[in-house]
Amino acid sequence: MLTTQPHLRTRRPSPTTVEYTVSTSPDLTLPLRLLLLTNFVLRTIIGLSVLLLLYSKFALSSFSSPIPTYPQPPAFFTTDYVWFLIHKITPSKPGLLAARLASHIPLVVLLPSSLLILYTILLRIHTTESLLVLRGLGIQTSTSSETYLSTATTRFIPTDKIQDILVNEAFRGFEVRYYLVVVVEGEEDVVVVFPRLLPRRQIVESVWRGARACLYEPHGGKDGGKG
């Protein structure tokens, strides 16, 4: 329910610009919004719990130092405020439970397990890739990152460097997959569009026709739609 098969959305900000976006994100209905909110809350709780467990393990070591105390809450979004929260949480029931668990879990088990959990909860649910076509200027490809800690990977290719836009086919396992490529002047390797999702042939051909029309035809770019 949280994801779908890669589907195409087309946006035309101007007659000479068209953006093709392939995503695994379904339409944001109210139930889906509530489900995503629940997922976010659960991820936040799990992440904070893991961080508290790691801190509790550190507090039990010889490298720890006394937690500073503050008579009044420090300014929000400061290092002092973080220490203030730690001072409040440590003697609480969750803090005592974390300390008890940390004392029984070896560091060689706790550290890699915690890092794996933190990495997992930072993974993006949806993958989004796009191709922005600007007549007379070039094209820009974009691929969303795997985690929320990094930004999307983008690349701009000017029109005078584009030799051709093609649809290639290749074997992936026991099936034939079609993918869109851009042949760039002076580069041995082609640029694969939508490299992570590799959408179905209908989407690839639709984007190929629309991109070529927008780049090379005076009144093109009208092909391609939601798939």
Domain ranges of the chain: 7-25+127-216, 32-121
CB burial readout 93-126, b (16+ within 10 A) else e: eebeebbeebeeeeeeebeeebeeeeeebeeeee
Residue 82's pLDDT is what?
84
| CATH code for residues 7-25+127-216 | 2.30.29
Whether this model's pTM surpasses 0.85: no
pLDDT 10s digits, 59-102: 998 888 777 777 788 888 788 888 888 888 988 999 999 999 99
Low-confidence ranges of the chain (pLDDT < 50): 225-226
